[in-house]
């Protein structure tokens, strides 16, 4: 009888523990990460985001610290945590054409000083972590300086930032779709997840961002970008898939770079078409069969299905202010990943 009671007690405890674990897992949200820029004034709706990357911070001219664009705007974004305590806010440091990374990371003194300043910024502004957006180690394609040693120095930099901010804060970085420039096996011990910039991968007459490869896909599709990162050494559950809230068009017809809120206002002379292989929309007209490729709610739905099926961590998008006033795209991302 005593044996039976012991077994029964263990069974009840296990059942309770299982229920608690499953309940927590059932409530767990996928990451929905929005880039929010310093040069816009739109306040994000915290009901449709779990994480925010504030863009941008930069390496100082002296190579040893962090300079933040529009600090008051950053404070305004951090204050949103009062509405949603679970909201996670990062400072994203870098961006296209943001330089001085190579010089900073090459010198042990300035690298350590920069890492300490990252910790200072996290504490001063009440941030949850740092997102590094060096585009890209060993590459000068953005008009910034580079060195063959950048990849190794990037690893050292991430290690030292981790040491300075501690393990209770988050550390991430934005990665080019091809998974080049970074030694992932060496970097992964120091970071929490990787944001894949699975966009800007082509210009008309091809899409700049698709889920799968079609005859109109450029360098990579989203699926190929994910596979490249897994092959490079990133666990699938540490990957966040990037989604553009903008399109890339033909010069002189729609503009090279157009936000979604502008694309949907284009006049009726443009025909909206669907690439069913790539799972992506585009616009055409009577004379040009591919004017601009972009993402809409339908294409986002397919990407959310992909993220869930593959066991990825979530999605991120550039950028929040590019959505329409109704929040069509941000709602598509959040609801697609966190189905009730």
Count of domains forming the chain: 1
Q: Are 201 and 280 in contact (CB under 8 A)?
A: no
Domain assignment present for 140: yes
Domain assignment present for 148: yes
Q: What is the pLDDT of residues 151-190, one digit of tens each?
A: 999 999 999 999 999 999 999 999 999 999 999 999 999 9
Question: pTM for the complete prediction?
Answer: 0.90
pLDDT given at position 256: 81
For the segment 282-309, the average pLDDT, to the nearest whole number, is 95
Domain assignment present for 269: no
Domain assignment present for 260: no
Q: What is the pLDDT of residues 35-44, one digit of tens each?
A: 999 999 999 9
Domain assignment present for 272: no
Residue 152's domain spans which residues? 29-247+294-337
Domain assignment present for 220: yes
- Of residues 251 and 285, more confidence is placed in 285
Domain assignment present for 264: no
Q: What is the pLDDT of residues 129-159, one digit of tens each?
A: 999 999 999 999 999 999 999 999 999 999 9
Look up the CATH number of the domain holding residue 331. Answer: 3.20.20.80
Domain assignment present for 258: no
């Amino acid at each position: 009888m005593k044996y039976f009671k012991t077994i029964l007690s263990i069974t009840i405890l296990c059942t309770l523990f299982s229920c608690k674990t499953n309940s927590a897992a059932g409530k767990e949200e996928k990451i929905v990460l929005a880039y929010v820029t310093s040069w816009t004034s739109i306040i994000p709706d915290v009901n449709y985001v779990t994480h925010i990357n504030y863009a941008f911070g930069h390496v100082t001219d002296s190579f040893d610290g962090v300079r933040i664009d529009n600090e008051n705007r950053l404070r305004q974004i951090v204050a949103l945590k009062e509405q949603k305590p679970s909201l996670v806010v990062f400072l994203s440091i870098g961006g296209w054409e943001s330089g001085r990374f190579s010089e900073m990371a090459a010198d042990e003194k300035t690298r350590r000083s920069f890492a300490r300043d990252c910790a200072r910024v996290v504490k001063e502004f009440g941030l949850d972590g740092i997102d590094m957006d060096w585009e890209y180690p060993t590459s000068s394609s953005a008009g910034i300086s580079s060195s063959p040693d950048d990849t190794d120095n990037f690893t050292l930099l991430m290690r030292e930032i981790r040491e300075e901010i501690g393990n209770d804060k988050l550390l991430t970085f934005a990665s080019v779709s091809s998974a080049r420039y970074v030694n992932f096996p060496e970097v992964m011990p120091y970071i929490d997840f990787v944001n894949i910039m699975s966009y800007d991968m082509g210009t008309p007459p091809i899409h700049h961002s698709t889920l799968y490869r079609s005859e109109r896909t450029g360098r990579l599709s989203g699926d190929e970008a994910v596979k490249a990162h897994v092959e490079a050494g990133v666990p699938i559950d540490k990957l966040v898939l990037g989604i553009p809230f903008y399109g890339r068009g033909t010069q002189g017809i729609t503009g090279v770079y157009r936000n979604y809120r502008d694309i949907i206002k284009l006049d009726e002379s443009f025909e909206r078409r669907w690439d069913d292989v790539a799972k992506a929309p585009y616009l055409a007209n009577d004379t040009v069969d591919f004017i601009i490729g972009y993402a809409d709610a339908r294409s986002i739905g397919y990407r959310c299905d992909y993220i869930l099926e593959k066991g990825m961590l979530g999605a991120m998008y550039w950028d929040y202010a590019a959505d329409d006033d109704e929040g069509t795209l941000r709602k598509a991302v959040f609801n697609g990943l966190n189905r009730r």
